[in-house]
Structure 1
Amino acid sequence: MSVATTVDQKIASKKVIMYSKSYCPFCTKAKKAFQDLLNDGTLSKNDYEVVEIENDPNCDAIQDYMKTKTGGRSVPRVFINGKFIGGGDETAQMKSTGKLTELVKA
């Protein structure tokens, strides 16, 4: 199966998917925003998945596909309901304005 097919299937499989690297501070920022939504019950653990790619043999190919799909290859790449919403800064900003909660509830 191609990287593109695998990534697209993963994105379609959950309400929230984040492609991440465990050591990335922007990924940590986005995870914190979603952790708050998990803690308050807005988001269920079944609807949320973080895909850590740094040890994936296809890491570069995944990031190259993200460049094609989203315009950038950096992590995090955050998708809600199949739609790319941005990275760590965008996710944190949406959390502070309430937009992230709205997207997750939609």
Structure 2
Amino acid sequence: MEAAQTKAQQLIDDNAVMIFSKSYCPYCNNAKGVFNSRDAKYKAIELNQIDDGDDIQSALHKMTGQRTVPNIFIGGAHIGGSSDLDAVVKNGKNGKTLEELLKEAGAL
């Protein structure tokens, strides 16, 4: 579990936008579509396609309290899941629009 948590944290730290996803999940595909439509740089890991995916998902649950995917981070900050991302698109987060968050993170 510790190795999975270290790996997850490294991925979050190394990528402006990090999406922990599952390839068959429509909510994950929707989230990736939000970033694709803005030409934002992001890294997505499909947890169902890697050997330690279940361990990483458990580590993310421990780190964030969120068990579901997508599990999205922008600039190292936990955004949440698909509905949380939709709320950021609609209302912003901490007074900033999604585009501002993406620019600050270096994803645009």
For normalisation by structure 2, the TM-score amounts to 0.83
Paired residue total: 99
Structure 1 length normalisation: TM-score? 0.85
5 Å-filtered alignment, 1:91-106, equals 91-97=85-91, 99-106=97-104
Higher-RCO chain (CA-CA 8 Å, sequence separation at least 6): 1
**18-27 or 1-10, larger mean C-alpha shift:** 1-10
Q: Alignment partner of 1:19: what SS? A: strand
Q: Is the 8 A contact 1:29 1:92 kept in 2?
A: no
Structure 2: which 5+ runs fail to align? none
Percent sequence identity is 36
Cα distance in structure 2, aligned partners of 1:51 and 1:17: 8
Runs of at least 4 residues off by over 6 Å: none
User: Out of 45, 48, 51, which is 1:51 matched to?
Assistant: 45
Question: What corresponds to 1:2 in structure 2?
Answer: 3
Residue 93 of structure 1: how far off its partner (Å): 2.6
CA distance in 2 between partners of 1:74 and 1:52 (Å): 13
Range with bigger deviation, 85-94 or 6-15: 85-94
Provide structure 1 residue ranges, at least 5 long, that are not aligned to the other structure: none
TM-align CA RMSD: 1.5
Work out the CA distance in 2 between the residues paired with 1:97 and 1:36.
18
CA–CA distance in 2 between the matches of 1:18 and 1:55? Answer: 14
Deviations 1:19-69 (A, max 9, x none): 00011011011111101111xxxx3x3xx1111110211121111111111
Instruction: State the AA in 2 paired with 1:56.
Output: I
